[in-house]
């Protein structure tokens, strides 16, 4: 079982390590060292799905290895959203040009909050805090 976790972890790291190569010029496609909306826009549908699959696998592994009180709820989707729907929601998030410098990871947390029933006001407040944090 431990060997299987190591293999899965290695595959996920390899996936994330290779994605910047797909993104092209990383000067404007990274914020705080993380891929952002500009990088997301350059990815093919397959690459977006692979990115999200790796992210969701990492979240799954983390939730299985962390104690319940250590698990960050902002990374746990409510219900069974398909990768295609998560990608579509992230595409919609980045349709607003003021969101492009926000890292993909945080756009994912936006989708999670939305899937867990956050109100429009809560989502607006969250996006405002992300813009403040990541827009230079």
Query: Within 10 A of 56 (CB to CB), how many other CB atoms are there?
Result: 17
With cut-offs at 50, 70 and 90, classify the pLDDT of residue 78. low
> Is the Cβ–Cβ distance between 47 and 85 less than 8 Å?
no
User: Which residue reads 């827009």 in tokens?
Assistant: 135
Domain total for the chain?
1
In terms of pLDDT, which residue wins out, 43 or 27?
A: 43
Say if residues 83 and 49 touch (Cβ distance below 8 Å): yes
Tokens standing for 54?
């790796």
pLDDT of residue 77: 62
Q: What pLDDT does residue 100 have?
A: 97
Tens digits of residue pLDDT in 1-31: 555 554 555 445 455 545 554 545 557 999 9
Residue pair 75/59 in contact (Cβ under 8 Å)? The answer is yes
pLDDT greater than 70 at residue 85: yes
Residue span of the structural domain in which 36 resides: 2-134
């Amino acid at each position: 079982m431990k060997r299987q976790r190591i293999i899965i972890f290695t595959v996920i790291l390899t996936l994330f390590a290779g994605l910047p190569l797909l993104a092209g010029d990383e000067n404007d496609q990274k914020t705080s060292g993380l891929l952002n909306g500009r990088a997301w826009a350059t990815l093919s549908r397959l690459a977006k799905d692979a990115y999200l699959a790796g992210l969701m696998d990492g979240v799954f592994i983390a939730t299985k290895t962390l104690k319940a009180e250590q698990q960050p709820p902002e990374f746990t989707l409510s219900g069974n959203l398909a990768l295609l729907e998560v990608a579509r929601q992230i595409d919609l998030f980045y349709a607003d040009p003021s969101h492009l410098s926000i890292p993909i990871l945080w756009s994912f947390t936006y989708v999670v909050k939305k899937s867990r029933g956050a109100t429009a006001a809560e989502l607006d407040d969250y996006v405002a805090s992300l813009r403040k944090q990541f827009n230079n």
